[in-house]
């Protein structure tokens, strides 16, 4: 019993200490973990490489002076630290994949302009994802078809005002524009690159869709019959409050993949084997 109590006490103390001294945001924790491991290895490796163990380990096939060995040590350290800091599992994978990717890219010896180009594209694609917590990823054709089917059921030939909040490349609205050209379709997107692509697609195809570059928080949903969202679980409650405040009775809020926590959807639609579920909420 005593050992259980003292074990719990140590865990609590360790948890408190970690909470107190460690950076709080996941990305700062990740940086801290990677840097700690690199510093530790930089301090320890010269002594280890010059020690007598080197010759003994070499006979066992372990070459301590090779970068690959220290890369493996680094991966082991960062994995252990990420686990000790109780980071989510996907962060632990990032800790392993990132140093491997850096090593691989170094062996490719690409010109610096490639990295600059990659950086600019990443910024333009993901923009303020650190604030919005909604990254870009496209929806599926089965989702677009299910949306079309839903709008047909809702209004038949009558015109609807449909807004895609976080419209990405514009796939949903552009598909709907082909099927239901009489609807008033629009999308709003915060990241410049997806917005630009959606804007050019609409312009060159002549599709009657308006794509705006901006934050959906700045839009009033009161004029919409349908608001479609494919965002992330992190923002569903916030969106729901806005939807409830602004959308008129009888209008629909449709969320792909992410339900509103604690709110029962009017319909749940399964568009296909590989497409996420659609949650349809009717405004009272």
Ligand X SMILES: C[S@@+](CC[C@H](N)C(=O)[O-])C[C@H]1O[C@@H](n2cnc3c(N)ncnc32)[C@H](O)[C@@H]1O
Residues that bind ligand X (CB under 6 A): 132, 134, 136-139, 164, 166-168, 171-172, 188-191, 194, 215-217, 230-231
Phi, psi of 126 (to 5 degrees): -105, -20
Q: How far is the CB of 63 from ligand X (least distance, A)?
A: 46
Q: How far is the CB of 89 from ligand X (least distance, A)?
A: 21
Q: How far is the CB of 257 from ligand X (least distance, A)?
A: 9
Which of helix, strand or coil describes residue 18?
A: helix
Nearer to ligand X, 160 or 172 (CB): 172
**Maximal C-alpha separation, the chain:** 83
Q: How far is the CB of 93 from ligand X (least distance, A)?
A: 20
Q: Are strands 252-256 and 267-269 parallel, antiparallel or unpaired?
A: unpaired
Nearer to ligand X, 212 or 251 (CB): 212
Q: Are strands 278-282 and 252-256 parallel, antiparallel or unpaired?
A: antiparallel
- In DSSP terms, 282 is beta-bridged to 252
CA distance 199 to 101: 34
Q: Ramachandran region of residue 273, left (φ > 0), alpha (ψ -120 to 50) or beta?
A: alpha
Nearer to ligand X, 78 or 185 (CB): 185
Nearer to ligand X, 134 or 160 (CB): 134
Q: Which of 273, 180, 188, 284 shows the shortest CA–CA distance to 228?
A: 188
Nearer to ligand X, 10 or 234 (CB): 234
Q: How far is the CB of 189 from ligand X (least distance, A)?
A: 5
Q: How far is the CB of 155 from ligand X (least distance, A)?
A: 21
Q: Provide CB contacts within 8 A for 114, sequence distance 6+.
A: none
Q: How far is the CB of 3 from ligand X (least distance, A)?
A: 49
Give burial (CB, 10 Å; 0-12/13-18/19+) of 247: buried
Nearer to ligand X, 78 or 271 (CB): 271
CA distance 18 to 15: 5
Q: Which residue is nearest to ligand X (CB)?
A: 166
Nearer to ligand X, 49 or 148 (CB): 148
Q: How far is the CB of 139 from ligand X (least distance, A)?
A: 3
CA distance 240 to 245: 8
The dihedral built from the CA positions of residue 24, 7, 76 and 58, taken in this order, carries a sign that is positive
Nearer to ligand X, 77 or 193 (CB): 193
CA distance 87 to 84: 8
CA distance 163 to 227: 5
């Amino acid at each position: 019993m005593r050992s259980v109590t003292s074990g719990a006490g140590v865990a609590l103390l360790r948890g408190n200490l970690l909470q107190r001294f460690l950076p709080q945001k996941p990305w700062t924790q990740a940086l801290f973990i990677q840097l700690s491991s690199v510093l530790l290895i930089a301090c320890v490796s010269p002594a280890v490489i010059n020690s007598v163990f080197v010759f003994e380990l070499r006979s066992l096939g372990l070459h301590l002076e090779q970068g690959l060995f220290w890369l493996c040590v680094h991966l082991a350290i960062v994995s252990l630290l990420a686990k000790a800091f109780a980071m989510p599992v996907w962060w632990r994978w990032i800790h392993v994949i990132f140093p491997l990717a850096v090593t691989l890219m170094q062996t490719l010896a690409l010109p610096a302009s490639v990295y600059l180009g990659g950086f600019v594209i990443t910024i333009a694609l993901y923009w303020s994802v650190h604030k919005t917590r909604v990254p870009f990823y496209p929806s599926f054709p089965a989702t677009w078809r299910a949306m079309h089917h839903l709008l047909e059921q809702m209004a038949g030939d009558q015109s609807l005002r449909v807004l895609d909040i976080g419209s990405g490349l514009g796939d949903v609205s552009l598909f709907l524009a082909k099927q239901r050209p009489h609807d008033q379709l629009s999308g709003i997107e915060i990241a410049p690159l997806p917005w630009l692509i959606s804007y050019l697609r609409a312009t060159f195809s002549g599709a009657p869709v308006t794509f705006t570059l901006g934050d959906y928080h700045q839009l009033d949903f009161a004029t919409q019959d349908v608001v479609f969202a494919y965002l992330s679980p992190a923002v569903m409650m916030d969106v729901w409050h806005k939807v409830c405040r602004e959308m008129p009775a009888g209008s629909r809020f449709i969320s792909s993949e992410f339900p509103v926590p604690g709110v029962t959807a009017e319909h749940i639609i399964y568009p296909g084997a590989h497409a996420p579920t659609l949650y349809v909420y009717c405004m009272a």
